[in-house]
């Protein structure tokens, strides 16, 4: 597995520790320290004036959409003072940084030297300022003109024996306009190889919701939070990853909603929140958010949900009509009787035990839910990145269906998306398995025959490159090497390619672990002005709740050699397809309205796109569930029958979840602290239960090695510090991407093929220094 030449994890000595300091686990998120911390970060990176200008326009109507997460802005309040959070400000600081990497920088720093740095150090280098080429065999990137770069890619693509030998990845920050053009180019070129970060993120939600409810997106709007009676939050850490959600939760609570949190960790934001925008928050008066905390074992969610459902069904039987919404079930669902029978064969107490949650708390939860009818369920990566993720999410749907909690105000599904436009990219057709309907629409509107054969998703792409079946890798954003599983295997896959191309804002490890030749194409970010013919152009995005709104950058780009993503796609298309193309790519680069007109013609829900996107606050896309309809084959919602399954752990095995610290955005590491969890200055840590530490004859603070053994391959991540933490037994947590080396390429979720990043079976042993 080891490839000597690749420093795939960073640092000559990837096991370099930075010096752990421990503090208290915080009782409440945000508050004044968060505001101070965000201002400091922005001022340091971008300078005071540039930084404040960016913050002032963040998430403001007419301003730019926060690049950090996909949580929506309040429909009514998206004006006046900007709505932003500490981590949104940090994401902006990263992008608005005044540090630029030009030809000089690359002439001084070889690829090998840069690869020795940690991800934190690489991320701190700055924005890429001009297109760069790494010629075959070279160790230094060299400047290249945009024309020469496009010509090189076009040649490489046209030289392949089939378009299916190329892979076109997308991360989730790409605008609707860029994404639509990108998939159009890729399909006219002739392949559906369009993997995206969704494959590693909410794919399981899309599959589960599509099959159960007929639409792969969530049904709630932000207003529903104001009417909800109960909000269940599973496998999500909003205090860090969607901080603005805490404001919505706080408002909901003020209106009487109860909050149930299901998580192996007592996450600070869910426990309490000092809203910096309220007087109480400033005074540090901490209203607890969670009413019932169910500290589930990793992947114990389905067991917990089924136990709750059994109790609800039993209560209904005792007192018919008092607990379940029989009318809803009768009129809108199929499979209820089978579901009822299925659960009758199970025992709630046994299930509670499997889930790790005391039965009394399961009973308390069922009692609460029995009397309520407006329930919202929110979830994120703690649910989607498991082998049985699709079934677990369908179990959430089962619960909502029992209560008739879909398609009415104050109730519904809320998969909380990650990247700020990951949902929009899918709507635009970034998908390796496009529907017939979508392809027909492309054919009708653009007079070419798009390929029908499904393409590769992320995991399939890695395997295809590894086997030599795919040879050119093109990434529209992201950091493929570090975000994907099985880092060493993925490194070999990328190194097998004849050409790897990264369209990027900032330097990352995917620029350093590369194909025979490699290109970096620097693009404008969300906060940058996109000037054309004297006009600053806007693009548009879709948030987690299906609202399309415009986003216009306000900062002067750090270099005049950056291109917008739509422009990059158009020039790539021209260089590759030339006269073969049926499309006027030049026109798109001149005027983004033309792109939006073509989106409107091709994709449902975008009527009067150009007009409505200019309305402050944007517009909602249609959502069948929201209207009480289910676009399944039967036109009904489906109950799903699943059985709790889990890995049988050997005595010395433990389940590891790979999570985000407070100081990172995915593979971009802002800092070395995880303030809310009381962990400072170190990322190579493993959070363990006291009993599990004892059982292995280890002690708090000891150095350990982590080992995974899957498919006959040993994967190791060495030198981590043990942290005793309130996490259930047989479970441990580490940070992503440091432990992606341990996530087996073949360990994926059923149906969605998502890597099981929250369910990695490992052994933990006292650290063995190399050469000893």
Ligand X SMILES: Nc1nc2c(c(=O)[nH]1)N[C@H]1C(S)=C(S)[C@@H](COP(=O)(O)OP(=O)(O)OC[C@H]3O[C@@H](n4cnc5c(=O)[nH]c(N)nc54)[C@H](O)[C@@H]3O)O[C@H]1N2
Bridging pattern class, strands 29-30 and 273-274: parallel
Which of 131, 235, 300, 418 forms a contact with Mo ion (CB under 5 A)? 418
**Residue 180 token pair:** 């639509």
C-beta of 230 vs 442, nearer to ligand X: 230
Q: Which string of x and - marks every residue 500-529 that binds ligand X (by CB under 6 A)?
A: ---xxxx-x--------------x-xx---
Cα 569 from Cα 580, distance rounded (Å):
16
Cis link prior to 236 (omega < 30° from 0)? no
Interaction of residue 298 with ligand X, rule CB under 6 A: yes
Q: Are 476 and 181 in contact, with CB atoms under 8 Å apart?
A: no
CB of 290 to ligand X, least distance (A): 12
How many Å separate Cα 548 from the centre of its chain? 19
- Is the alpha carbon torsion for 403, 404, 405, 408 positive or negative? negative
Return the residues of window 234-293 that contact ligand X according to CB under 6 A. Answer: 234-237, 240-242, 262-265, 267
Q: Please, is 445 exposed, middle or buried when counting C-beta atoms within 10 Å of its C-beta (0-12, 13-18, 19+)?
A: middle
CB of 658 to ligand X, least distance (A): 4
Closest residue to Mo ion, Cβ-based?
A: 418
Q: Of the candidates 386, 375, 376, which has an alpha carbon nearest to the alpha carbon of residue 300?
A: 386
> Strands (DSSP E) along 464-508, which ranges?
472-476, 499-504
Q: Are 381 and 757 in contact, with CB atoms under 8 Å apart?
A: yes
Distances (CA, A) of 377 to 235, 262, 303, 571: 11, 11, 16, 43
Which of 69, 186, 248, 672 forms a contact with ligand X (CB under 6 A)? 69
Which of 93, 122, 133, 201 forms a contact with Mo ion (CB under 5 A)? 201
- # residues near ligand X by CB under 6 A: 59
CB of 665 to ligand X, least distance (A): 4
Q: Which stretch binds Mo ion (CB under 5 A): 347-355, 418-426, 456-464, 711-719?
A: 418-426
Beta-carbon contacts of residue 473 (< 8 Å; ≥ 6 apart): 166, 167, 169, 461, 465, 480, 494, 497, 499, 500, 501, 515
Interaction of residue 544 with ligand X, rule CB under 6 A: no
Cα 39 from Cα 90, distance rounded (Å):
9
Return the residues of window 398-457 that contact ligand X according to CB under 6 A. Answer: 418-419
Interaction of residue 124 with Mo ion, rule CB under 5 A: no
Q: Of the candidates 31, 585, 596, which has an alpha carbon nearest to the alpha carbon of residue 286?
A: 31
C-beta of 612 vs 758, nearer to ligand X: 758
CB of 713 to ligand X, least distance (A): 17
CB of 119 to ligand X, least distance (A): 9
Residue keyed to tokens 């950056």: 562
Which of 28, 58, 228, 476 forms a contact with ligand X (CB under 6 A)? 476
Interaction of residue 659 with ligand X, rule CB under 6 A: yes
C-beta of 200 vs 499, nearer to Mo ion: 200
Q: Of the candidates 152, 104, 140, which has an alpha carbon nearest to the alpha carbon of residue 125?
A: 104
Q: Please, is 423 exposed, middle or buried when counting C-beta atoms within 10 Å of its C-beta (0-12, 13-18, 19+)?
A: buried
CB of 198 to ligand X, least distance (A): 7
Return the residues of window 730-759 that contact ligand X according to CB under 6 A. Answer: 736, 740, 743, 757-758
Interaction of residue 208 with Mo ion, rule CB under 5 A: no
C-beta of 242 vs 552, nearer to Mo ion: 242
C-beta of 259 vs 476, nearer to Mo ion: 476
Distances (CA, A) of 59 to 315, 467, 664, 745: 46, 44, 20, 37
Q: Are 599 and 180 in contact, with CB atoms under 8 Å apart?
A: yes
Cα 320 from Cα 187, distance rounded (Å):
55
Which of 275, 306, 668, 673 forms a contact with ligand X (CB under 6 A)? 668
CB of 242 to Mo ion, least distance (A): 11
CB of 77 to ligand X, least distance (A): 21
The partner in contact with residue 639, picked from ligand X, Mo ion, none with C-beta cut-offs of 5 to 8 angstroms by kind, is none
C-beta of 417 vs 683, nearer to Mo ion: 417
The partner in contact with residue 668, picked from Mo ion, ligand X, none with C-beta cut-offs of 5 to 8 angstroms by kind, is ligand X
Q: Please, is 368 exposed, middle or buried when counting C-beta atoms within 10 Å of its C-beta (0-12, 13-18, 19+)?
A: middle
Q: Is 30 left (phi over 0), alpha (psi -120 to 50) or beta?
A: left
The partner in contact with residue 235, picked from Mo ion, ligand X, none with C-beta cut-offs of 5 to 8 angstroms by kind, is ligand X
C-beta of 70 vs 348, nearer to ligand X: 70
C-beta of 201 vs 518, nearer to ligand X: 201
CB of 419 to Mo ion, least distance (A): 6
**Residue 330 token pair:** 């009768």
Q: Which stretch binds Mo ion (CB under 5 A): 41-49, 199-207, 312-320, 755-763?
A: 199-207
> Strands (DSSP E) along 634-772, which ranges?
637-638, 653-659, 664-665, 668-669, 679-680, 685-688, 703-710, 713-724, 731-735, 760-766
Which of 666, 673, 708, 747 forms a contact with ligand X (CB under 6 A)? 666
∠ CA 612-613-619, rounded to 5°: 70
CB of 209 to ligand X, least distance (A): 16
Note the helical H segments in 371-473.
381-384, 389-402, 422-427, 436-446, 458-466
The partner in contact with residue 240, picked from Mo ion, ligand X, none with C-beta cut-offs of 5 to 8 angstroms by kind, is ligand X
**Residue 752 token pair:** 């969605």
CB of 607 to ligand X, least distance (A): 28
The partner in contact with residue 380, picked from Mo ion, ligand X, none with C-beta cut-offs of 5 to 8 angstroms by kind, is ligand X
CB of 611 to ligand X, least distance (A): 26
CB of 140 to ligand X, least distance (A): 20
Residue keyed to tokens 């297109």: 131
C-beta of 37 vs 666, nearer to Mo ion: 666
Cα 240 from Cα 243, distance rounded (Å):
6
C-beta of 190 vs 269, nearer to ligand X: 269
CB of 217 to ligand X, least distance (A): 15
Return the residues of window 368-397 that contact ligand X according to CB under 6 A. Answer: 380-382
Element (H, E) at 518: strand 517-522
Q: Which string of x and - marks every residue 627-656 that binds ligand X (by CB under 6 A)?
A: ------------------------------
Note the residues at the interface with ligand X (CB under 6 A): 68-69, 87, 171-173, 197, 200-201, 234-237, 240-242, 262-265, 267, 296, 298-299, 301, 380-382, 418-419, 476-480, 483, 503-506, 508, 523, 525-526, 565, 657-660, 664-668, 736, 740, 743, 757-758
By CB under 5 A, name the binding residues for Mo ion: 201, 418
């Amino acid at each position: 597995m080891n490839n000597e030449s690749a420093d795939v994890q960073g640092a000559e000595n990837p096991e370099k520790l930075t010096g752990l300091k421990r503090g208290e686990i915080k009782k409440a998120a945000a508050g004044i320290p968060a505001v101070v911390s965000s201002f400091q970060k922005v001022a340091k990176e971008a300078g005071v004036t540039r930084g404040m200008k960016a913050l002032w326009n963040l998430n403001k109507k007419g301003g730019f959409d926060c690049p950090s997460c996909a949580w929506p802005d309040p429909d009514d309040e998206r004006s006046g003072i900007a709505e932003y959070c500490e981590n949104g400000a940090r994401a902006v600081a990263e992008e608005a940084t005044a540090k630029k990497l030009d030809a000089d920088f690359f002439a001084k720093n070889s690829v090998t030297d840069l690869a020795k740095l940690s991800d934190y150090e690489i991320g701190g280098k700055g924005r890429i300022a001009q297109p760069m080429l790494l010629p075959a065999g070279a160790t230094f990137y060299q400047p290249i003109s945009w024309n020469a770069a496009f010509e090189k890619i076009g040649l490489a693509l046209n030289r392949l024996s089939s378009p299916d030998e190329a892979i076109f990845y997308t991360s989730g920050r790409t605008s609707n306009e860029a994404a639509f053009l990108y998939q159009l180019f890729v399909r006219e070129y002739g392949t559906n190889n369009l993997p995206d970060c969704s494959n590693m993120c909410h794919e399981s939600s899309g599959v589960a919701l599509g099959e159960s409810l007929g639409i792969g997106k969530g049904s709630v709007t932000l207003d529903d939070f104001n009417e909800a009676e109960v909000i269940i939050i599973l496998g999500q850490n909003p205090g860090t990853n969607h901080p603005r959600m805490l404001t919505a939760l706080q408002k909901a609570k003020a209106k009487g909603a109860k909050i149930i949190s299901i998580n192996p960790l007592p996450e600070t934001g869910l426990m309490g929140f000092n809203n910096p925008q309220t007087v109480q928050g400033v005074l540090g008066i901490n209203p607890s958010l969670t009413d019932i905390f169910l500290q589930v074992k990793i992947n114990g969610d389905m067991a917990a949900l089924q136990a709750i459902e059994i109790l609800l069904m039993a209560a209904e039987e005792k007192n018919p009509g008092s607990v379940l919404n029989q009318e809803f079930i009768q009129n809108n669902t199929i499979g209820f009787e089978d579901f009822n029978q299925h659960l009758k064969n199970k025992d709630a107490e046994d299930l509670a035990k499997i889930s790790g949650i005391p039965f009394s708390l399961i009973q308390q939860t069922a009692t609460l839910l029995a009397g309520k009818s407006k329930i919202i369920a929110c979830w994120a990566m703690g649910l989607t990145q498991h082998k049985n993720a699709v079934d677990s999410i369908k179990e959430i749907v089962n619960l909502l269906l029992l209560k008739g909690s879909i398609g009415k105000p104050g109730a519904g599904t809320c998969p909380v998306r990650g990247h700020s436009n990951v949902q929009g990219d899918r709507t635009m057709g970034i998908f390796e398995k496009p529907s017939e309907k979508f392809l027909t629409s492309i054919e009708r509107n653009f007079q070419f025959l798009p390929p029908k054969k499904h393409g590769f998703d992320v995991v399939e792409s890695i395997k295809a490159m590894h086997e030599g079946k795919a040879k050119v890798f093109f990434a529209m954003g992201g950091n493929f090497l570090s975000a994907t599983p099985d880092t060493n295997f993925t490194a070999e896959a990328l190194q097998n390619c004849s050409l790897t191309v990264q369209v990027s804002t900032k330097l990352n490890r995917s620029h350093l672990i590369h194909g025979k030749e490699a290109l970096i194409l620097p693009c404008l970010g969300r906060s940058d002005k996109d000037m054309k013919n004297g006009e600053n152009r806007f693009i548009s995005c879709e948030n987690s709740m299906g609202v399309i709104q415009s986003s216009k950058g306000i900062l002067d780009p750090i270099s005049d050699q950056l291109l917008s993503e739509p422009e990059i796609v158009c020039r790539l298309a021209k260089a590759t397809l030339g006269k073969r193309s049926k499309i006027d790519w030049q026109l798109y680069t001149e005027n983004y309205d033309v792109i939006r007109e073509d989106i409107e013609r091709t994709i449902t829900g975008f009527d009067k796109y150009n007009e409505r996107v200019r309305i402050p606050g944007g517009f909602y896309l249609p959502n069948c569930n929201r209207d009480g309809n289910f676009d399944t084959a039967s036109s009904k919602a489906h109950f799903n029958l699943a059985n709790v399954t889990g890995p049988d752990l050997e005595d010395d095995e433990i389940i590891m979840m790979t999570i985000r610290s407070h100081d990172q955005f995915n593979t971009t590491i802002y800092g070395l602290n995880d303030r809310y969890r009381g962990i400072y200055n170190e990322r190579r840590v493993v959070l363990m239960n006291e009993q599990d530490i004892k059982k292995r004859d280890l002690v708090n603070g000891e150095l350990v090695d982590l080992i995974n053994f899957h498919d006959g391959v040993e994967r190791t991540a060495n030198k981590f510090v043990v942290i005793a933490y309130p996490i259930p037994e047989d479970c441990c947590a580490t940070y992503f991407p440091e432990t992606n080396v341990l996530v087996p390429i073949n360990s994926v979720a059923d149906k969605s093929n998502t890597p099981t990043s929250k369910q990695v079976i490992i052994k933990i042993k006292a650290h063995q220094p190399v050469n000893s």
